[in-house]
Chains A and B, each alone.
Chain A
Amino acid sequence: MADYPTSKELIDNVNYKLPKKGWMDTPTTIRKGMYCYAGNPKSLETVGFPNARQWNPLDEDWKLPENWQEIIHNGFKERLENFRSFKIFMDICVRCGACADKCHFYIGTGDPKNMPVLRAELLRSVYRNDFTTAGKILGKLAGARKLTLDVLKEWWYYLFQCTECRRCSVFCPYGIDTAEITMMGRELLNLLGLNIDWIATPVSNCYKTGNHLGIQPHAFKDMLDFFVEDIEELTGINVAPNYNKKGADILFITPSGDVFADPGTYTCMGYLMLFHYLKEKYGLDVTWSTYASEGGNFGSFTSHEMMKRLNSKMYAEAKRLGVKWIIGGECGHMWRVIHQYMGTMNGPADFLEEPVSPITGTKFENAKSTKMVHIAEFTADLIKHGKLDLDKSRNDHIKLTYHDSCNPSRGMGLLDEPRYVIQNVCNHFYEMPPNTIREQTFCCGSGAGLNAGENMEQRLAGGLPRANAVKYVHDKFGVNMLGCVCAIDRAALPPLMDYWVPGVGVIGLHELVANALIFPGENKRTTDLRGEPLLGMEDEADE
C-alpha cells in the first residue's frame, strides 16, 4: 500500500473552506507527506552552507543557532537592499486576490496558506514588523507579526510548498512574483541551515562531481555508452559520442536526469542520435562534458550565490574545451538560470563565438551574448531548412499533448519552438485547454527541488491541475502521451499520470525526433526507442 491517499481520498479532502480564525492565529502543523526530509549535514558542509547539523522538521527543537532571529533580520535587510524586486514586492501588494486560485498547490490542497498572496504575506508580515513604521507601532493591526519559532517553521513549510513556477505572477496586476519571494525566503532559511535533502544533496553532488546524482566521470561515460549499445541494437548504427573533447564545435549540456532515469533516458538517446546524424551528414562535432554534466541548477533552489557557483561550470568548461558555443538540452529551471541569470552572473562569454548554425547558417540572434542555444531552437531551425530526414509516421502510435514547463514558458517564452518540432515529427497532436498551456501552464507539482519521495502526497496534489487538463484531452481525443521539454517533468509526470490519468505516458521532445529521424543505412525500424511496436508493425516487432 502506497504511503499516500488514493485519488478519491485526496480529492475528498480538498475543500476551500477557511478557518474561522485569521491566518495569523491559525497554527501550522507540518504534516507527513507534505514536506521533504531535512538536508544531510554532510551535503551542507561540502558547499560550506552554515549551521550544518542533523535535525528533523517534526521535532520541537530545530537546533537553531542562538542568534537566529538576528541572522534572519540582517539577511532580510541585506536582500531588501540588494534586490529591488524583493523590496517592491514587499510593499505594493494590494491583496486583490487575483493570484489566489492560480497556484496549483492551492488548487490541489485547498490550504489557504498556499494562496500565493498568503505565502508572500508570511514573509511580508515579518517585513512589516521589522522594517516599517506602521508595523512597529500598530503591530498586528497593521498586519505585522514578530518572527517566532512557529513563524519560522511556517515559512519553511510553505516555502517548500512553492515550486517557483511564476504562474501567480502572470495574473498579478503589478507582476508580483511569488517565486521571487520564495527564492528570497529560501535564501534566508539557508542562512540557518534549513534546507531539504532533495536539494542539499544534489547541490553538493553537482558541486563535487558535476551532476546531481554524483555520478563520477567514468560512470557517466558508462551510462551513455550503454545507450549507445541500445541504439545500435535498434538501428544498427553506432553513435559514439565525444567526451570532454577539446576543439569540438559545440559543447552540449543537459540535465543529468536524462542520463539515468526513464523516460528521460530515451530523450538522451534522442540527443545522441541527433548529434550522430549531424556529424555523419554535416560534420558537426559536438562534445559532452563529464565536468559540466548537469544542466539543472539545484543551487537556484537555495541561493543566488549557490546558483552562480554551480552555473560557473558551463562557461569554464566551454572555455577549457575551446568550443564555439553551447547547446543546452531539455530542462526547465536550467533554462530559467541560463536565460535570466547566467550571462549576468558568469558572463561575459567573450571567449565564445556568437552562435551560428554551421549547418543552416542561421544566426541565433537571441543568444548572441550568452552564446547558449536551446536544443528546441536548434532543432526547429534544422527542420525549417529541411536538414533532417524525418518519417512522421513512426510516431503514429502516439497521440500527443504537450506540457509547457513553467520556466521556459514564464521565464523565457519558449512556446512555439517545441510545437514546431512536434508538428514535424508527429501526426497526432492535441493541445490542452488554453487556460492550462503556454504562459498559463500548470506546474508538474514537483519543481524547485520538490520531487522527492517522502512528499508524494504534496506532489500529487500539486500536480492535480496539470493532470486534470491532460485527462481532458485523454478522454476527448484518446491522448496517450504527454510531451515535455524538462527533465524534472520526465521524472515527476509519470507517477502523476499513473495516479490521475492512467494510460498516459511521458515523452521528451527529442525522443520523438529520434523516433522519426531516418539514418542513412539504418535497419528497418519496427519499434520506437522504447521497444514499443510502431503502428502496423506489431507483428514484425515481435520477431
Chain B
Amino acid sequence: MNVNYLVSLVVVVALSFVPYFGIDAGLKMLFGIVIPYLAFAVFFVGVINRIVSWSRSPVPFRIPTTCGQQKSLPWFKQAKIDNPSTTVGVIARMALEIFLFRSLFRNTKMQLHKSENGPKITFQWELWLWLAALVFHYSFFVVLTRHLRFFAEPVPFFVQLLEKIDGIFQVGVPGVLISGFMLLLAATYLLVRRVIIPQVKYVSLVADYFPLFLIMGIAFTGIYMRYFEKVDIVGVKALTMGIITLSPQIPAGISTIFYVHLFLVSLLVAYIPFSKLMHMGGIFMSPTRNMANNNRATRHINPWNYPVKVHSYAEYEDDFREKMIEAGLPVEKE
C-alpha cells in the first residue's frame, strides 16, 4: 500500500490548523510577520544556494539530446530548434521548453496488444499531461501576478489588465477570476492522475504529493477568502504593504483564514529550495537542453580534462613487430 499521499494530505491538513490555534493564542505577529519574513529569507538564500551549487559543478562535455536533423551538408534541412547548432537556436529551444513544454508535448501512451498473430505495440499521442501541466503553471503564474496588487500602490496597470482578462466571465460579485479555479482544477487533475495511473503512483513519493496538496490548500483558502468569507481586503493590503516596506504591522479584523492562507504560502515558499520544485531553476541549466549541437564544429573545453594512461603506438608495435613485418605491414622500427 502506497501511503505517500495519505501522509502528505494529513500533514498539509494538520499544518493548516496550526495558524488556527496560533491566532487564538494571540500569535498574529508570528504568523502575519515573522514566519513570512523567515520563509522568504529561506527561499532566497536557499534558491541562490542551490543555483550556486549547481553552477559550481562544471559541464565537462557538450551532451545535448538531439531531436531532429543535425546541421550537416547544405541540402539537408536542419531542425534548427530541436537540434540547434547556434545560440539563437538554443534560446528558441529553451523558450519552447520553458513556455510551451515542448518535450512533454511529444508524450505518447504505449499499449501492448496481445493477439493470435503475435503482439502489437501502439503509441497514442497523450496530451492530457501536457495540457494539465500547462494550465497548472500558467494559472499559477496569473494568480501570482494578480497578487502584486497587494504589494504595490497604485496597482500597476499590467496587474489591472491581467485581472480584467482573468475576470472575462463576468459572474457575480466579486467577479469570478478564472485563474484560481483553473489552478485548483489542474492541481486536482495532476493529483488524481498520480493516484490512479498505477505506474505514476508507483514512483510517487511524499515529496510529489506534499507540494500538490499544499498548492491546493493555498488555492482553496484563497478562493474561500475571496468568494465566501470575504476577508477585509483593506486590512490585508495594509499588512502586505507593511511587510514589503519593512514596516510591518498587524491591522485588526483580518480573519483567521487569511493567516492560514499566508502560512501555507510561507511553507511552500520555504519548501521550494529543498525540493523538486527547483525544477523551475534546473530547467535553465539542463545540459541536454541548453547546449548547441555543434560539437564537431566548435571544441568544448572540459575544465578538469586530465591526461590519461594510453597504450601508445610504440608500445603496440613493440608487442607485435615480428608479426607485422611478416604480414607485410609497415613498421616504424625494423
Interface set of A (CB-CB < 8 Å, partner B): 7-8, 11-12, 14, 16-18, 20, 22-23, 48, 80-89, 91-98, 100-102, 107, 112, 115, 117-118, 121, 132-134, 141-143, 166, 169-177, 180, 207-210, 216-218, 221-222, 243-246, 290-291, 304-305, 308-309, 312-313, 316-317, 320, 338-341, 343-345, 347-348, 362, 364-370, 372, 377, 380-381, 384, 409-417, 420, 433, 435-436, 438-440, 464-465, 468-469, 471, 500
**At the interface with chain A, which of B12-20, B151-159, B326-334?**
B326-334
Is B79 interfacial (CB 8 A cutoff)? Answer: yes
Q: How far, in whole Å, are A166 and B75 apart by their CA atoms in the complex?
A: 27
Cβ A143 vs Cβ B199 within 8 A: no
Chain A residues, CB < 8 A from B295: 339-340, 343-344, 370
Of chain A, the residue at the smallest CB distance from B53 is A87
The smallest beta-carbon distance between A515 and chain B, in angstroms, is: 23
Q: How far, in whole Å, are A304 and B157 apart by their CA atoms in the complex?
A: 54
Chain B residues, CB < 8 A from A170: 65, 67, 103, 106
Which of B85, B208, B313 has the largest count of A CB atoms less than 10 A from its CB? B313
B 309-327 binary contact with A (CB < 8 Å = 1; else 0): 1111100110110011011
Chain A residues, CB < 8 A from B301: 344
Chain B residues, CB < 8 A from A348: 299
Q: How far, in whole Å, are A177 and B319 apart by their CA atoms in the complex?
A: 41
Select which of A82, A118, A180, A469 is within 8 A of B58 by beta carbon.
Answer: A82
| Interface majority SS (helix, strand, loop, mixed), chain B | loop
Of chain A, the residue at the smallest CB distance from B126 is A98
Cβ B73 vs Cβ A340 within 8 A: no
Cβ B107 vs Cβ A207 within 8 A: no
Cβ B311 vs Cβ A92 within 8 A: no
The smallest beta-carbon distance between A113 and chain B, in angstroms, is: 10
Is B144 interfacial (CB 8 A cutoff)? Answer: no
Cβ B2 vs Cβ A177 within 8 A: no
Which of B66, B110, B298 has the largest count of A CB atoms less than 10 A from its CB? B66
Chain A residues, CB < 8 A from B317: 291
Known: A84-B58, A245-B330, A291-B313. A344 touches B202 (CB 8 A): no
The smallest beta-carbon distance between A180 and chain B, in angstroms, is: 7
Cβ A309 vs Cβ B286 within 8 A: no
Cβ A141 vs Cβ B324 within 8 A: no
Cβ B76 vs Cβ A416 within 8 A: yes
Q: How far, in whole Å, are A413 and B305 apart by their CA atoms in the complex?
A: 26
Cβ B202 vs Cβ A366 within 8 A: no
Q: How far, in whole Å, are A330 and B12 apart by their CA atoms in the complex?
A: 56
Of chain A, the residue at the smallest CB distance from B111 is A101
Cβ A345 vs Cβ B129 within 8 A: no
Select which of A169, A218, A377 is within 8 A of B329 by beta carbon.
Answer: A218
B 101-114 binary contact with A (CB < 8 Å = 1; else 0): 10110111110101
Known: A177-B65, A413-B83. A216 touches B106 (CB 8 A): no
Interface set of B (CB-CB < 8 Å, partner A): 1-2, 7, 50, 53-63, 65-73, 75-77, 79, 82-83, 85, 97, 101, 103-104, 106-110, 112, 114, 118-121, 123, 129, 133, 197-200, 202-208, 274-276, 278-279, 282-283, 285-289, 293-302, 304-305, 308-313, 316-317, 319-320, 323-324, 326-330
Cβ A500 vs Cβ B118 within 8 A: yes
Cβ B207 vs Cβ A411 within 8 A: no
Q: How far, in whole Å, are A115 and B104 apart by their CA atoms in the complex?
A: 17
Cβ A411 vs Cβ B103 within 8 A: no
Chain B residues, CB < 8 A from A308: 308
Chain B residues, CB < 8 A from A365: 71, 297
The smallest beta-carbon distance between B7 and chain A, in angstroms, is: 7
Select which of B65, B110, B112, B308 is within 8 A of A312 by beta carbon.
Answer: B308
Chain B residues, CB < 8 A from A339: 295-296
**26 pairs, CB–CB < 8 Å, chain A vs chain B:** A48-B309, A86-B57, A87-B53, A91-B276, A102-B108, A112-B203, A121-B203, A143-B205, A170-B103, A171-B107, A173-B97, A173-B133, A175-B287, A216-B320, A217-B324, A218-B323, A341-B61, A343-B299, A344-B61, A362-B73, A366-B72, A367-B297, A413-B66, A415-B69, A464-B119, A468-B120
Which of B55, B65, B82, B295 has the largest count of A CB atoms less than 10 A from its CB? B65
Cβ A291 vs Cβ B316 within 8 A: yes
Q: How far, in whole Å, are A342 and B297 apart by their CA atoms in the complex?
A: 12
Cβ B107 vs Cβ A98 within 8 A: yes
The smallest beta-carbon distance between A446 and chain B, in angstroms, is: 18
Cβ A413 vs Cβ B70 within 8 A: yes
Chain B residues, CB < 8 A from A313: 310-311, 313
Chain B residues, CB < 8 A from A142: 205-207
Known: A87-B54, A112-B202, A246-B330. A210 touches B308 (CB 8 A): no
Known: A217-B324, A344-B300, A381-B73. A81 touches B57 (CB 8 A): yes
Cβ A366 vs Cβ B297 within 8 A: yes
Cβ A97 vs Cβ B73 within 8 A: no
Chain B residues, CB < 8 A from A438: 68
Chain B residues, CB < 8 A from A141: 7, 206
Cβ B279 vs Cβ A92 within 8 A: yes
Cβ A411 vs Cβ B302 within 8 A: no
Q: How far, in whole Å, are A407 and B75 apart by their CA atoms in the complex?
A: 22
Of chain A, the residue at the smallest CB distance from B97 is A173
With A143-B206, A344-B299 known, 11 other A-B pairs at CB within 8 A are A7-B118, A85-B59, A91-B54, A118-B203, A142-B207, A210-B316, A217-B320, A366-B70, A380-B76, A384-B73, A412-B70
Q: How far, in whole Å, are A433 and B108 apart by their CA atoms in the complex?
A: 13
Of chain B, the residue at the smallest CB distance from A93 is B276
The smallest beta-carbon distance between A303 and chain B, in angstroms, is: 10
Select which of A22, A177, A435 is within 8 A of B288 by beta carbon.
Answer: A177
